[in-house]
Chains A and B, each alone.
Chain A
Amino acid sequence: MCMPSERSKKPFKACIKCKFLVNHEEQRCPNCGSDTFSDEWSGVIIILDPAKSEIAKMLGIGRPGRYALRIR
């Protein structure tokens, strides 16, 4: 489990499994149920309308929300 450190200024942590961005207080990913998160992510995609978004289709995202593009 990762805790937000003093150095980390990112408001979210990313689920390692599905890249969904969640608040630091969350224990489980609301998207996939995984409990492994990372603070080392970059790039964000906010999906508003997955049915019409070409990028959501390209990335295989079917649920609206915030996702990281790259996780280290």
Chain B
Amino acid sequence: MAEQSKFFIVRTTARQELNAALLLEARARGMGEGFYSIIIPPDVKGYLILEVKGLHLVYGLIKDIKHVRGRATGSISVEELKRLMLVESVISELKPGDVVEIISGPFKGLKASVISVNAQKNEVTLNILEASYKLEATLPGDYVKPVKK
């Protein structure tokens, strides 16, 4: 049977995930076998995930690496990791006419209907329903949440 890889979470300085991962990559290549991959999940700050053969390799790998602040306890399963990695943007499931709630920015808390969606720019143009006059706004896709029908 093939060896099962294990996933361990490593804490890093926020916004230095890529730099830490590149340093870890260089060291892992020098240390030889047992290191399978390094993952920086999108939208997760301050953490990266190591796919290795066993826990003992993690300590050797992260020791004295700049921006690495230690290992988080426990490990993570493939299913959990899949969920972290393959988070689809909200915008991909929106279409004109849908009602959304604005969850961030100056219009936070208001409901709006979608006029158009620009998936490439990750922007959505909305007609704000709770305004007393016609109010259109273009907001980043991350600012809206679909309202359940």
Contacts and interface: CB of A to CB of B under 8 A. Distances in A.
Interface residues of B, number: 33
A45 B42 contact: no
A66 B22 CA distance: 9
A42 B86 CA distance: 11
B29 A43 contact: no
A72 B17 CA distance: 20
Q: Please classify how large the interface on chain A is, using the bins under 10, 10 to 19, 20 to 34, 35 or more.
A: 20 to 34
B115 interface: no
Contacts of A40: 122
Interface stretch (B77-85, B98-106, B127-135): B77-85
Contacts of A72: 119-122
Interface string A13-57: 000000000000000000000000000101111111100111110
B52 to A, nearest CB: 9
Given A54-B5, A56-B37, A44 B21 contact: yes
B38 A46 contact: yes
B42 A43 contact: yes
Contacts of B40: 43-45, 69
Contacts, number: 79
Given A52-B5, A53-B51, A55-B81, A45 B43 contact: no
Given A11-B18, A44-B21, A54-B5, A69 B42 contact: yes
Contact of B25 (A46, A54, A70): A46
Contact of A53 (B5, B22, B86, B121): B5
Interface string A61-72: 000001001101
Given A54-B5, A55-B51, A69-B85, A45 B120 contact: no
Interface of A: 10-11, 40, 42-49, 52-56, 58, 66, 69-70, 72
